[in-house]
Structure 1
């Protein structure tokens, strides 16, 4: 049965596959970063690279870049693997502070 609601639990977003516009699987959403003051999702953290979850990095992508595609049952971003490889990222064990300089670097990289 298809859902008729426009909201989704973060538990259901985490683990969702992310594709590029060519239909290539880029990775999956590992986490969501939520603005404490506005309550809006600011970034989806994409788990990308590595093999079987080993050696993967986390790539924060501005939430408004992701579009849900019901046909693929996943999110689509206008990025290719080469663009992601140069993007701001971090290892699982070293989550950065999402302070102003860090978020500015993410937004600048993606043209926001």
Structure 2
């Protein structure tokens, strides 16, 4: 039996999967597909957002630095200050591919694209 607890400020990782992501205009952009946690610090580093495609086909996975997302209780999802066009031009990978996690150059490019300091420098 799986127990995943949710409080006002904490959520189990299993509950994050599938949570909607909206832009500041309230348009649904995609859903959280996964989260990446730094094994050394235990901090959430990235939310992997599924975006694009149709009925699950041709979806791309976009690593978003965790601190680009804010939870909005009214919408019951995360909000990012990004446009659909910014996401389309951002770092992404296809299902079955795996980004170069742990390669600081790759990860720095992800953070630079979104104008966010790398999580390991905060």
TM-score, normalising length from structure 2? Answer: 0.87
The residue number in structure 2 matching 1:70 is 73
CA RMSD of aligned residues (A): 1.0
How far is the alpha carbon of 1:5 from its aligned partner? 3.6
User: Structure 1 runs of 4+ off > 3 angstroms?
Assistant: none
1:4 shift after superposition: 4.2
Structure 1 residue 6 displacement after superposition: 1.7
- Structure 1 gaps, min length 5: none
- 1:51-98: CA deviations, max 9, x gaps? 011100000001011111111000000001000010000001101121
Number of aligned residues:
110
In structure 2, distance between residues paired with 1:5 and 1:77: 20
Of 80, 96, 99, the match for 2:99: 96
